[in-house]
């Protein structure tokens, strides 16, 4: 998916008050053939952005004078460049707040070179896609960070497995609509043929795992509802 973007150089801005982080990320990105500008403060970053366009922006959160979230808010007034929060802050409420304010992705330090580059390429890819239609109101209470397998529900972070993430994402894409067991199985396990019993057991086991983490009463689910042919995601019930 990201192959085309690995072939062209990206112009990246990193804003972080830690000199070691700036040096490390610079080495990571320059080795991959990208141009990187680094700034140690939010005010310096805004001065640069007033006359230079960036393909991707990386922001720390805990910085003196102008913190990363305030900087993000200011950037979003004039720029739609993809923004990745690159921070030691792992708080779920702050993570959700960053997404609501316009962050495109969020990585908690420490991180690997491969993980950082993968996220940058994904954001660069998304930046070429037309802006989506406004999200429905319920998304403020359900934020799925698919890359990190985390669901943020009403400010609380819920860890998911990889297959739980894929299945839940498919249900959220079709909120209020029935998604068949076959559809969910193809999303989570692929299209290789399996027996009907195996297919159903896989899907139901995964849904039960999500219900145990998400529902107030998993024995009487109101969010992940079973239907004749599959399941329905009903976000307004909680």
Q: Which residues contact 134 (CB under 8 A, 6 or more apart)?
A: none
pLDDT in tens, 173-227: 898 899 999 999 999 999 888 898 999 999 999 999 999 999 999 999 999 999 9
State pTM to two decimals. 0.60
pLDDT value for 132:
43
CATH 3.90.1310.10 fits 3-126, yes or no: no
Q: Percent of the chain at pLDDT above 70? A: 90
Separation of alpha carbons 21 and 27, rounded Å: 10
Does the CA dihedral 90-92-96-101 come out positive or negative?
negative
Residue 133 reports pLDDT greater than 60: no
pLDDT in tens, 71-130: 999 999 888 899 999 999 988 888 888 888 889 889 999 999 999 998 898 888 765 544
Mean pLDDT of all residues belonging to the chain: 87
pLDDT value for 192:
85
CB 34 within 8 A of CB 22: no
Residue 4 reports pLDDT greater than 60: no
Radius of gyration over every alpha carbon of the chain, rounded to an integer in angstroms: 20
Top-level class of domain 158-237: mainly alpha
| Domain segments of the chain as ranges | 3-126, 158-237
Separation of alpha carbons 220 and 15, rounded Å: 47
Q: Bridge-partner residues for 15, per DSSP?
A: 39, 59
């Amino acid at each position: 998916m990201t192959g085309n973007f690995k072939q062209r150089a990206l112009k990246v801005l990193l804003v972080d008050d830690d000199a070691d982080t700036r040096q490390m990320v610079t080495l990571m990105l320059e080795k991959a053939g990208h141009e990187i500008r680094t700034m140690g403060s939010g005010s310096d970053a805004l001065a640069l952005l007033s006359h230079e366009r960036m393909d991707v922006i990386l922001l720390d959160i805990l910085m003196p004078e102008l913190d990363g979230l305030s900087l993000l808010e200011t950037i979003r007034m004039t720029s739609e460049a993809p923004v990745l929060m690159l921070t030691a802050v792992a708080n779920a409420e702050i993570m959700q707040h960053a997404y609501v304010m316009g962050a495109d992705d969020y990585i908690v330090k420490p991180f690997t070179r491969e993980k950082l580059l993968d996220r940058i390429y994904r954001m660069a890819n998304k930046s070429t896609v037309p802006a989506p239609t406004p999200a429905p109101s319920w998304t403020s209470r359900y934020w799925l960070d698919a890359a990190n397998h985390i669901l943020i529900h009403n400010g609380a972070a819920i860890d998911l497995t990889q297959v739980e993430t894929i299945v839940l994402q498919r249900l959220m894409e079709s909120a209020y609509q029935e998604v068949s067991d076959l559809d969910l199985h193809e999303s989570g396990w692929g299209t290789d043929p399996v027996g009907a019993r195996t297919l159903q057991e896989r899907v139901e086991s995964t849904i039960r795992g999500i219900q145990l983490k998400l529902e107030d009463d998993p024995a009487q689910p109101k969010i992940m509802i079973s239907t004749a042919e599959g399941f329905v995601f009903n976000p307004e019930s909680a």
